[in-house]
Structure 1
Amino acid sequence: MSGHNKWSKIAGKKGIADAKRSAVFTRLAKAITLAAREGGGDVAMNFKLRMAVEQAKAANMPSNNVDRAVKRGTGEGDGGSMEAGLYEAYGPRGVGIIVETLSDNKNRTVAEVQATMKRAGATPAAQGSVLFNFDHKAIVTVLNPTTNDRGTLELILIDAGADDIELETEGLTVAGPVEKFQSLVEAIEAAGLKPNEAGLEFVPKVSVNLIDEEREKTEKIVQALEDLDDVQAVYTSLES
């Protein structure tokens, strides 16, 4: 799983300090609203909503904020339509950059993302020109899994659809096809483990190793994009 930042949630990626807490909650609320709009407001029946709500709770998002976001999605509260977007760019030495957005104003988002890319030193790319080097994967991590039978656990996860399993000191990382996302999470829970992070991510097929100066520039590009309100996540082919 080259390029995957294993041990951090979206809240960690966004730097959930007091100054940014509100912005993080806004992003999480958008994800909840979209999930509720697509599949209804019952977390027992809507797996995508359940994952979005659990991610919000892990970031200590107030329950009333979560409830409002769900109601917006089901039409019980105020709020316009939400649209997901995907933007591509190249960084130093051709490092691929994928930007996921969620917005109620696509024109605004396109303008902000492209302007930020150029200002930070990235080159906007044509649709598909960067994406071809990434796999869209279901990724689930578990911190410090309490299991002594690694072999049995791996067999359970393979049966659930896992195609890559890494068990390290920090924890367990499982990857699989997007369509196996729910079955992977449920298999981990059935084994008595609790996911630390669970979501769909873009993982590079081939990563690029950069010198320190180029790596720093790439990280600044990522940070500038992550600071935009409509950006949900940023992925790169930078060697981790």
Structure 2
Amino acid sequence: VVYVNNDFPYCASRKVDNAACIRYSVGQQENSDFWADNISYSAEGTTFNLHCPDGKSIEFATCLVGEFNISNLIPAIAVALRLGMTADKVKFAVARIEQVEHRLNLKRTPAGINIIDDAFNSNPDGSRMALDVLSRMDPGRRIIVTPGMIELGEKQWDYNKQFGERIAKAADVAIIVGRYNRDAILSGLKDANMPEQDVHAVDSFTQAQELLMKIAGKGDTVLYENDLPDTFK
């Protein structure tokens, strides 16, 4: 059985003799055999419905968050079901999958602040997914702490400006760390009309943490997006 994510149609050109090609997608797409919808994020993780070829819909819960994680889970679930595992056993296994450290890793502080740790690295697609998760977190304010993205060549400014525009739509408070991408991100935030009082520029993560201690409270969610060393000025 060959599973093809409809987000990457070029995979369909690969042919395997005597194999069925079963397609999956996040969100309903034409010709998808398995597809997920009703995706909901919370401090506990994600719930979603998986629609199967037999017309049935199965609700899953996982501590993982982010569209890419759902996209990775769907083919694994599909394989398990095709191999004869019961839906209950698959649901149990999915619920027990552990998070990967610093990759949209959910935590909660003793003070009741939700943390989304996506500090391992950042890129345009990954930051978009992280902001999507942040935007759906309720109640409380949504706060992002980020130095922006690096190693993007001649697109560095443009991508970080677009990042700023997306931050303005997803977050209530933005804390921009360091000077490396500051101007580009602030330009995007301004163009997207994020209120100036909700935008903070600091020179180090130490300063960001000190600011968070003053402004973050119970029920708020903080996204750490990338973790560049303070040598990136």
TM over 0.5: no
Greater Rg by CA: 2
Question: Which TM class, normalised by the smaller chain length?
Answer: under 0.3
TM-score by length of 1: 0.24
- Structure having the higher helix fraction is 1
